[in-house]
Amino acid sequence: MKSPFLEMLKDEMYQRHYAKRTIQTYLTWISSYIHFHNKRHPAQLHNLEVEQFLSHLVLELDVAVSTQKIALNALSFLYAEIIEKPLSLKLKYVRSIRQQKLPVVLTQPEVRALLNCINANYKLPASLLYGSGLRLMECIRLRVKDIDFDYKSVRIWNSKGGKHRVVTLADNLISDLHKQVVLVDHYLTTDIANPNFSGVWLPNRLRVKYKSATNELGWQYLFPSSRLSIDPETKKLRRHHLDESGLQKAIRTASKHAEINKNVTPHTLRHTFATHLLQSGADIRTVQDQLGHADLRTTQIYTHILQRGGNSVISPLTNLF
């Protein structure tokens, strides 16, 4: 049986135009918080119970810093926006100190083998992950108009931190992208003939400003789902984008078939893009701009991959024999 409280939370977040992924994440953490406190209603709990839960995540589950922050964000939303009793700014809980892992990076032959083994339906988005350094959801949420064929670039809107950026587009993907646009156009023509079709989903402010955009080719998802579905926000029939789990699974499967003995995920291709750019002579600030990092220190982690033995130190064992 579904929780009426969690269903209310979900509806409230949809009305506030939160992203579907954010809604799912927040609901997961709020549900975990409620179960941790023996299903007591959050209105009966506050600062002390939140501190206990956040400390539990570190002491018992050993979560990373970012995971603990996401849980705190979910609970902060719950108390500030729903219960209308904001949490203290001076919460006292055990903070995660887990070190950030060094990124897994593929060699060029490994990338080639991976793309040769991947399911044909996922090869183009996987190629963009590596060729343009995109995050998984940045790639999945691309619209047709985001591909600039004239300037060979990809426009990323409202990415992490709400930022926009322009990234490079590989020449050898242009032909396949044109074919993809033709496929999207075919879907759109078929969908418009369906009297129940309500056009592609648009954020509320764009939906109001561009009232006819929902049926325009440029606003359609570049990688559409193969079937129509009901939009949980508006309850209307739409064609959503490709499900990200399909691409994740395709990359894992291709990695096994290519016999790559590394933990390969979609984000591995983004790490590899950054490392290979630096290897080819790009300066670190260019890489920072391409990745959309706010802090240069985040980008500098890729320099560790290139430094032989750490800070270019040559092991004394090298000259021993």
Q: In the prediction, which pLDDT does 319 show?
A: 73
Distance separating alpha carbons of residues 222 and 232, to the nearest angstrom:
21
What percent of the chain clears pLDDT 70, i.e. is strictly above it? 96
Task: Find where tokens 């500030």 sit.
Answer: 80
Single-letter residue type at 140: I
Domains in the chain: boundaries: 4-82, 100-311
Fold of 4-82: DNA polymerase; domain 1 (1.10.150)
Mean pLDDT of 48-74: 95
276 is catalytic: no
| Other residues' Cβ atoms within 10 Å of the Cβ of residue 257 | 14
Pair 98, 66: CB distance under 8 Å: no
Q: Is 293 a catalytic residue?
A: yes
Q: Report pLDDT for 177.
A: 98
The H-assigned helical ranges of 158-231 are 174-192, 204-209
- Choose, from 135, 145, 155, 252, the residue flagged as catalytic: 135
Which position has the higher pLDDT, 306 or 21?
21
pLDDT at 2: 79
Write down the catalytic residue from 98, 112, 160, 236: 160
What value does the mean pLDDT take over residues 285-293? Answer: 93
**Residue 131 reports pLDDT greater than 90:** yes
By the 10 Å C-beta count (0-12 exposed, 13-18 middle, 19+ buried), 106 is classed as: buried
pLDDT for 205: 75
94-106 tens-digit pLDDT: 998 877 777 899 9
Query: What mean pLDDT do residues 6-25 have?
Result: 89
Residue % of the chain over a pLDDT of 90: 76
The tens digit of pLDDT for each residue in 77-91 reads: 999 999 999 999 999
CATH of domain 100-311: 1.10.443.10
| Residues 190, 150 contacting (CB under 8 angstroms) | no
Does residue 302 carry a catalytic annotation? yes
pLDDT score recorded for residue 159: 87
Taking the C-alpha atoms of residue 199 and residue 206, their distance in angstroms, rounded to an integer, is: 13
Q: Categorize the per-residue pLDDT at 310 as very low, low, confident or very high, splitting at 50, 70 and 90.
A: low
Judge whether residue 312 has pLDDT over 70.
no
78-92, 186-200, 304-318, range with the lowest pLDDT:
304-318
pLDDT the model gives residue 308: 58
Query: For residues 209 and 205, what is the distance between their CA atoms, to the nearest angstrom?
Result: 6
On whether the CB atoms of residues 166 and 155 are closer than 8 A, the answer is yes
Model pLDDT, residue 172 = 95
Which residues touch 160 (CB under 8 Å, ≥6 apart)? 135, 292
Active site residue 93: no
Take residue 46 and report the two structure tokens written for it: 């506050």
Q: How confident is the model at residue 1 (pLDDT cuts 50, 70, 90)?
A: low
Assess contact for 258 and 113: CB atoms under 8 A: yes
pLDDT band at 160 (very low <50, low <70, confident <90, very high): confident
Q: What is the number of other CB atoms lying within 10 angstroms of the CB of residue 221?
A: 21
56 is catalytic: no
- Calpha distance 123→289 (Å, rounded): 25
User: What pLDDT was estimated at residue 251?
Assistant: 98
How confident is the model over 20-56, as pLDDT tens digits?
A: 889 999 999 999 999 999 999 999 999 999 999 999 9
| Average of per-residue pLDDT across 113-132 | 97
Q: Are the beta carbons of 101 and 203 closer than 8 angstroms?
A: no
Q: Does the active-site annotation cover 143? A: no
Tell me the per-residue pLDDT of 196-226, one tens digit each, with 9 for 90 and over. 999 999 987 777 788 889 999 999 999 999 9
Mean predicted lDDT score pLDDT of the chain: 92
